[in-house]
Chain A
Amino acid sequence: MIKVIIIDDEQPAREIIKHYLSKHSDIEIIGECSDGFTGLKAIHELKPNLVFLDVQMPKLTGFEMLELMDETPQIVFTTAFDQYAIKAFELNAVDYLLKPYSQDRFDVAVQKAVERLQKEDKPSGIKKLTEHITENIEVLDRIVVKLGSKIKVIPIDTVLYIESQDDYVMVYTTEGKYLKQQTMKYFEKHLDTSIFCRIHRSFLVNINTIKQLELYEKNAYLAVLSNGAKLKVSDTGYKALRGLMKF
């Protein structure tokens, strides 16, 4: 039996999936969720093989959910947005269903998922998919992180700075610090470049939080932030900062 969870914030959209699935006797629906938070929890607890996932949802988008999953089941996106569709097909996603879709089209997606599950194919494509899709998102307006079993959505304007830590980054906000599995390069690319500045190899700073620059050695500066933190500023970082803050 293939275990399936349906995640969509619109009830009629879930209904049609349930109806289409009723023709597949080898599939069992083990959960139905209407937002990203409960969806993530359900995936974690119920360990489905296959998830039908909407993109635009309250709390967390489908893409943000993928970022937060430890073990990724097979994912079939169901969405009315077509801007990510082409990329999704180029990559190794199970499928990408554009609403509204027919039973036949839906069956094709299910068939693909079944084949993958039989081959016990690890959905490596999904990881690539999220990376590629996020490439298309121009500017991040929030960051989602996991705090134990909880999920924290950080609005970008509360971020003070981001520090690189090997494969991870530490996101410092007005409230605390959060570990996130993502590269500095990614954040440098996707944060608003008029606000965030790479002042050092290890630091990406929200320039609105810089209170002052302190000279601590010859030609070496420390940026003092509103929360008291002092961060090293490299030569290139200093130049970038000058350009951005116009001093």
Chain B
Amino acid sequence: MHPIFIKSRNIVYYLIMWGLIAIAHAVVLNHYYGFDHIISITDSFIFNALFAIIAIGLWYTVRYNTFDHKHLQDVVVNHLGVAIISLVIWYFSGYYLLHEMFDKQPDYITFLNQSIPWRLASGLFFYAVTVLVYYLIISYRNLQEKIQNELELKTLVKETELSMLKSQINPHFLFNSLNSISSLTITNPAKAQEMIIKLSEFLRHSISHKEEQMVPLYDEIEHIMRYMEIEKVRFGDRLHYDFKVDDLCRNFPLPSMILQPIFENAIKHGVYESTEEVTITFVCQPASNGMLLKISNNFDPESPSRKGTRMGLKNIINRLKLIYQSDDLLKISKGEKIFEVELFLPNMQHEKKK
């Protein structure tokens, strides 16, 4: 967007500035060179108005002539070319117009013919000042944009951190598991002990993990296995799971706790809402430049999906964006009976080499 036309106030400022220059110009002609008012004002108006128009157009040469993409010498050469062309057009159109208007005034015509050097000098000065101001505006805008982007990124980080904290341990899961343990202490004490150990390990891992930490896949899988085993005690035959992990993927690094919410989601919308058996399938394969993970579950198509379901997944998308600078790594597809999350994790070493 052109800085002058971005606000109507800017147009006013621009006109006032040129108005002041034009007044000074006219005063000089009238006072020092002794031309009458009409000649002084017309000369001043024509040359300055023409330059004011040309200066507006100069924005585009500056805009497409920034130092980000071009070498210094190219920028200089471009500006020299543009300066010569615009000054020639400016001077000759002004000269022609005034020559036509005042050809009966020999004194003025002589002056017009002799004034080439200082007119071109002042034109060059105007050109330089205009271009400098435009460059200042562009760098100011870039700075603003950068600050804005950083601010957005910071908010994203904060939000993600916050929802990470919230999602770390789902209290509903925790208290229901504790209730199951309470029950097992009576019906099956050995199993109760086993479950306390699993739950402890699960909690320890949840509490100790750090968000920015990269962990090998098998570490995450162990954590998820514990989670699934705990849920299995709660839901019995209603929950089945099937993990197919390619051996090549076992050590693949991934952000810690990135998979856990996907499984939690699958349980929440699959098992919680269905009286049928639900199977959660996890497939993990190497892919070119990374690893492909698929987590799917069947669900009861008759139970209307509850709202607020995408929060967990959105949080993952945000984290992936922060870590991999890409927001199309996670794909969600909902079929008639199958809900599937597909996650592609790019190779981090590869990223770094780039």
Which chain A residues border B171 with CB–CB below 8 Å? 80
B234 within 8 A of A: yes
CA–CA, A37 and B274, complex, Å: 11
> A229 to chain B: which residues have CB within 8 Å?
none
Interface residues of B in 49-71 (CB under 8 A from A): none
Name the CB-closest residue of B to A54. Answer: B176
Q: Are A80 and B180 in contact (CB under 8 A)?
A: no
Of A10, A58, A154, A156, the residue contacting B234 (CB under 8 A) is: A10
Determine if B264 is an interface residue (Cβ-Cβ < 8 Å): no
* Chain A CB within 10 Å, residue with most, of B179, B300, B304: B179
Instruction: Give the size range of B's interface with the partner.
Output: 20 to 34
Q: Residue-by-residue, is A121-142 near B (CB-CB < 8 Å gives 1, otherwise 0)? A: 0000000000000000001011
Among A11-19, A107-115, A234-242, the stretch that binds chain B is: A11-19
- Is the C-beta of B257 less than 8 angstroms from some C-beta in chain A? no
Given that A99-B178, A153-B304, A156-B304 are contacting pairs, would A15 and B172 also be in contact in the complex, using a CB cutoff of 8 Å? no
CA distance A100 to B176 in the complex (A): 7
Q: Are B304 and A155 in contact (CB under 8 A)?
A: yes
B182 at the binding interface (Cβ < 8 Å): yes
* Given A100-B182, A153-B304: A58 in contact with B273 (beta carbons within 8 A): yes
A: interface residue count bin:
20 to 34
* Main secondary structure on B side of the interface with A: helix
A81-B172 in contact given A11-B236, A141-B307, A156-B304 (Cβ < 8 Å): yes
Which of A16, A35, A37, A59 meets B179, CB within 8 Å? A16
- In angstroms, how far is the closest chain B Cβ from the Cβ of A13? 6
Taking a contact as CB atoms under 8 Å apart, the answer to whether A56 and B233 are in contact is no
Q: How far is the CA of A101 from the CA of B184 in the complex (A)?
A: 13
Q: Is A117 an interface residue (CB 8 A)?
A: no
Docked CA distance A16–B303 (Å): 28
Q: Is B20 an interface residue, CB under 8 A from the partner?
A: no
Total A-B pairs, Cβ < 8 A: 78
Q: Please state if B304 and A13 are interface contacts (CB–CB under 8 Å).
A: no
Minimum CB–CB distance for A54 against chain B, Å: 10
A12 touches B183 (CB 8 A): yes
Instruction: Let me know if A12 and B180 touch, CB within 8 A.
Output: yes
B252 touches A (CB below 8 Å): no
Q: Is the CB of A100 within 8 A of B273?
A: no
Q: Which residue of A lies closest to B175 (CB)?
A: A80
Q: Are A58 and B176 in contact (CB under 8 A)?
A: no
Whether the pair A10, B304 counts as a contact (CB closer than 8 A) is: no
Q: Determine which residue in A35, A80, A98, A154 has the highest number of CB atoms from chain B within 10 A of its CB, and name it.
A: A80
A34 within 8 A of B: yes
By the criterion CB–CB under 8 Å, are A10 and B275 in contact?
A: no
* B350 located at the interface, meaning its Cβ lies under 8 Å from any Cβ of chain A in the complex: no
Contact: A100 with B178, CB < 8 Å? yes
Known: A80-B179, A98-B175. 19 other contacts (CB 8 A): A9-B272, A10-B180, A10-B235, A13-B176, A13-B234, A15-B183, A16-B179, A58-B272, A58-B300, A59-B273, A80-B176, A99-B176, A99-B178, A100-B182, A141-B304, A153-B302, A154-B304, A155-B305, A156-B304
List residues of A whose CB falls within 8 A of some B CB.
9-13, 15-16, 19, 34-35, 37, 56, 58-59, 80-81, 98-101, 139, 141-142, 153-156
8 A-B pairs closest in CB distance? A155-B304, A80-B175, A99-B179, A16-B183, A12-B183, A100-B179, A100-B182, A12-B180
